[in-house]
Structure formats: C-alpha cells, structure tokens
Amino acid sequence: MPFAALGLAQTLLTAISDQGYTEPTDIQKQVIPVILSGHDVTACAQTGTGKTAGFALPILQKMLPHANTSASPARHPVRALVLTPTRELAAQVYQSFLLYGKNIPLRCAVVYGGVNIAPQQQILKAGVEILVATPGRLIDLVEQKNVRLSQVQVLVLDEADRMLDMGFIPDIKRILGLLPPNRQSLLFSATFNDEVTKLSNSFLQQPKRIEASNRNATAELIEQTAWLIDTEHKQSFLVSLINKLNLQQVLIFTRTRQGTNQLATRLNRARLNTQAIHGDKTQQARMEALDQFKNGQSRILVATDIAARGLDIQELPCVINFELPNSAEDYVHRIGRTGRAGASGLAISLVCPEELKLLEDIEKLIKRKIERQDPEKFLVPETIPASKKDVQPPVEQKKAHSPSNRFIPSTVFQGETEIAWLLQSSRLNLKTKTLQSAPSTLPPRTTTKQPETAALFRKPAHSKHVSTQKPEKNTDKIDS
Ligand code: AMP
C-alpha cells in the first residue's frame, strides 16, 4: 500500500519520499486514517515500528489549514501537544516533525528540563503550533505564563508506560486540566498493563484500539541470547565479546549511573572507544555523547534506561544488557533500539544467577524463550593452546538450575574456548568441534594466554558462582 492511499496531502508525501520511505509501516497503515478521522486512539506499538510518523504525519495534515507566515504570536497558538517521558525522545519527536513538516509554514518547538529555560521562553512567546515537551518543564513554562494550552486540538501521550514508570502521572493530570475538553487524544505505549489501561480510560473518549504488534512482543528480527555469567566476570567477558565478535556499534545498558561510568572506564582502558550517558550528565554532554555514537566517532555507548526510550539510531546492529532491567518491560524497550524498521538485530544479555528470575519474567512478558548459552553445547577450536597453570580442577556441574539455566563452570572458560563458542553461536565461520560434555582438562597450552580472556572466568575453587553484589540504589529514572 502506498502512502498516498492513506489520504495524506501531497506536501507530506513529498517529505516522506525525501526520507526514502516507500510504503507505510504496519502501525502507520492502521493509525494514520484513524487519527485523520478524528477518533481518540490507544496504540500499542513497540519501538522501531515507525510510530512517530504514525502520529506526526496526520497531526501535520490536521494543522495544514492553520499554516501561516504571520509574525503575530496570536496567529500561532499551541494546537498540538506531544508529551514524552525523556528529553532524548522529545528531541527526536521534534526532529521528526521538522522533517515531515519541512514544506509547511507551521512552527514547531521542543521544551525539556536540564537546559536553560530562557531560549524556550522566547520561542514559546513568539508562538508555536506544535509543541513537544517533557511534563516537568512544560509545567514550569505554563506557571511562568510563557505558554497557554487552551487551544490544543490534539494531545499525544508518547511512551505512556514509561510516563507511569517515571511517576509523571500527577504532572500529566495537571496538564490535562489545562487542555480544552473537546480535543483529540492519542496514547502510544510500547507495552500495555493494567496501569496504562487505567490511564487511557481516564482521559480518552471511546478510543479506537490499535495493536500493530503483539502486546509486549519484541521485534521478530532481533536475535536474542542470554549468556549466563557471574557478575564478577561480566566486564572482562564483555571486552572479549566485543573484540572477538568485532562489534562496531554497540549500545550497552547498565542499571545504575555509577555502573555506567565504571563500565565506560573499563572499556576505554581496553581501547574500546566508549561514551556514557545517564541522568547525572548535563543535557549537553548527553547530546554530544549520543552524536558521537551515532556518527561513529565512538564505538560503544553505555547507558542507563534513560536511553532505552526513543533513541533512534539507524541500523544499530547490537544491544547488550550488561545487567537485566528490574522491569521486564524495560527489556522490550532496550532491545527495541536494534532491529528497527524491519532491520535485523542482535540482543545479548549477560545474566548472573540473581538475575535468572528477571530473565524468566522477561520471557513471560514477551512470550518467547530467550536462548541460553549452554555449556553442554560448548564448542572449542581444534587447536586450543593451554598451559598447565590455566587448567582448573573440574567443577561439579550444578544441579540446582535446569540445564538451560546452568552457568558455565570455570573449567570450561579457558580463554579462547568460550570465544570459539561465541563465534560459533554468532554463526561466524570458525573451525570447531563439539564436545559431548565439558572437559575436565584442556590440552596443554603452548602460547601465552590472552590478557582479556585469560583472567576472565578464573574463580577460586570454592567459588559457587554466586555473586553477593547487590544492585545499587541510584537507578536512573529521572527526566524532564
Ligand atoms: P520510530 O518507531 O518512530 O522511532 O521509527 C523508527 C525508525 O523508522 C525511524 O528511523 C524512522 O525514520 C523510520 N521509519 C518510519 N516510518 C518508516 C517507513 N514507512 N519506512 C521506512 N522507515 C520508516
């Protein structure tokens, strides 16, 4: 189906074709005609489905009759308001409006916290038709009488589930109270739970429900694996993984701001050019880090969940969960950074024993089994050098976990061996042979061990591969 069949104006069709889009995505096919017809909408659309254009295009079309070049602020009241949970998402939604509306004399602005408010005040005072905002900063601007919302005709609540997670509901309720009741309201959420449904029932009127993908499903094209590994070995393992799989652009998620910094330092020490973004960084620093990652100046971006929403990085090939998120829904958002708009992607999770429950919760949510890396299927190259000192006494196979949840015993992790396995698991061409069971010893090593891998999975003989490390408290949930 061509875009033209959706009833979009020629000026929008030209902008779409300039973007290289040839046909609408599933969500766009469904949602654009419904928004154009004036209905309220609740749309379940996972990240990367093209949902932003799904609401931006019909909103621009509805605003066409109001397009004008007058200098008078009175001729440019806010007519469409898009609320997003994070600054990054707000900036991206704004960019989409600019791209799709480039041929139309409509004014669009974005406001979010963490940056100087003065330029935002000026822009709003001059008047804008389309305003993209995070809730906190918008309320500040309303209180300071820089903007009025009494002429809003269309409201979009983007990433509604995230809004709930981040505690924005009181702010949203305040903003809703400032809008005219006879408006059109659209709610987009990647995941739907009872809370989101309650929220949508509270302010949408007889909404059309649109479900572009399975509820809480993850993109089909994303290959997902879980690598069962102790906390203490995760950092070294990660370095090996990136090097040996030659991953060139990787987004890595951690749970805490401090953990983000530590990991970025470790990766930079291993000569992997890494930037970190989290809520303690200034907006300027976050934008710069993101730009450097997008344009290839840095190879790795380590981020807290703040980056999980809305970041649109074209063809991001790989996402790694250094730690699983506490909420299974955040997993969907995290890995949604890869496999966008029909491209394939790889999502790797490093899972320590304490995180197994989280992994199971994720599988329940996405209704899909995530492939565990199983030591029994371990593959080694035919010529593995190993020195005697690298050989550990055999570790008893744990019975506590089901085979699919078994953690790799330290005897198996002898430097290159796990890498051989990884390469194989990534379907790269490496000469390998399968071991029926984990070897109790490996052939004698004749060369020196590789620094990153050798230190990797060495544990004291008494170690029971259970880490006592507790997650930090300062999880990154802020914004606006
Ligand atoms: P979103 O889910 O809105 O974040 O969009 C994900 C990506 O899909 C963005 O990079 C868009 O530019 C891209 N995109 C949106 N619509 C289309 C389309 N119809 N065809 C190809 N790419 C698209």
Q: What is the pLDDT of residue 311?
A: 63
CA angle 189/316/287 to nearest 5° reads 75
User: Distances in Å between the alpha carbon of 121 and those of 97, 106, 367, 432?
Assistant: 20, 18, 46, 63
E strand or H helix that includes residue 346: strand 345-351
Q: What predicted TM-score, i.e. pTM, was given to this entire model? A: 0.60
Phi/psi at 156 (5° precision)? -120, 130
Looking up residue 131, the CATH number of its domain turns out to be 3.40.50.300
R_g over Cα of the chain = 25
CA angle 80/142/201 to nearest 5° reads 55
Q: What DSSP designation does 475 have?
A: B
Residue 405: partners with Cβ closer than 8 Å, 6 or more residues away: 228, 356, 372
Flag whether 152 is in a domain: yes
245 shares a domain with 161: no
Flag whether 428 is in a domain: no
User: Distances in Å between the alpha carbon of 370 and those of 222, 283, 392?
Assistant: 11, 35, 30
234 shares a domain with 203: no
Q: What is the pLDDT of residue 461?
A: 34
Closest by Cα among 237, 252, 255 to 293: 252
State the residue range of the domain holding 295: 222-377
Q: Find out whether the beta carbon of 50 lies less than 6 Å from any atom of ligand 1.
A: yes
Q: How, if at all, do strands 130-133 and 80-83 pair?
A: parallel
Flag whether 160 is in a domain: yes
What digits encode the pLDDT tens for the residues 296-348? Answer: 899 999 998 865 555 666 667 899 999 999 888 788 878 877 765 555 688 99
339-365: average pLDDT: 84
pLDDT at 235 over 80: yes
153 shares a domain with 38: yes
Label residue 476 exposed, middle or buried (CB < 10 Å: 0-12, 13-18, 19+): buried
Give me the sign of the Cα torsion angle 190, 192, 198, 202: positive
Q: Find out whether the beta carbon of 304 lies less than 6 Å from any atom of ligand 1.
A: no
Cα(5) to ligand 1 centroid in Å equals: 18
Flag whether 39 is in a domain: yes
Cα(85) to ligand 1 centroid in Å equals: 19
Least confident interval from 228-242, 369-383, 402-416, 443-457: 443-457
Flag whether 455 is in a domain: no
Flag whether 437 is in a domain: no
Q: Structurally, how many domains does the chain consist of? A: 2
Instruction: Give the number of other CB atoms < 10 A from CB of residue 392.
Output: 20
Cα(51) to ligand 1 centroid in Å equals: 7
Tell me how long the chain is: 480
227 shares a domain with 207: no
Strand runs labelled E in 358-480: 371-372, 379-381, 432-434
Q: What is the pLDDT of residue 412?
A: 35
Q: What is the pLDDT of residue 421?
A: 42
Question: In the chain, how long is the greatest CA-to-CA distance?
Answer: 82
Cα(48) to ligand 1 centroid in Å equals: 6
Asked whether 227 and 350 are in contact (CB, 8 A), the reply is: yes
Atom 12 (ligand 1) nearest CA: 50
**Alpha helix segments (H runs only) across 204-303:** 231-244, 257-269, 283-294
Atom 14 (ligand 1) nearest CA: 50
Instruction: Give the number of other CB atoms < 10 A from CB of residue 39.
Output: 17
Q: Find out whether the beta carbon of 88 lies less than 6 Å from any atom of ligand 1.
A: no
- Taking each helix axis as running N to C, give the angle between helix 135-143 and helix 169-177, from 0 to 180 degrees, rounded to the nearest 10: 40
Cα(50) to ligand 1 centroid in Å equals: 4
Least confident interval from 80-94, 268-282, 438-452: 438-452
CA angle 92/105/58 to nearest 5° reads 55
Q: What is the pLDDT of residue 468?
A: 32
Closest by Cα among 127, 151, 15 to 70: 127
23 shares a domain with 148: yes
Q: Find out whether the beta carbon of 21 lies less than 6 Å from any atom of ligand 1.
A: yes
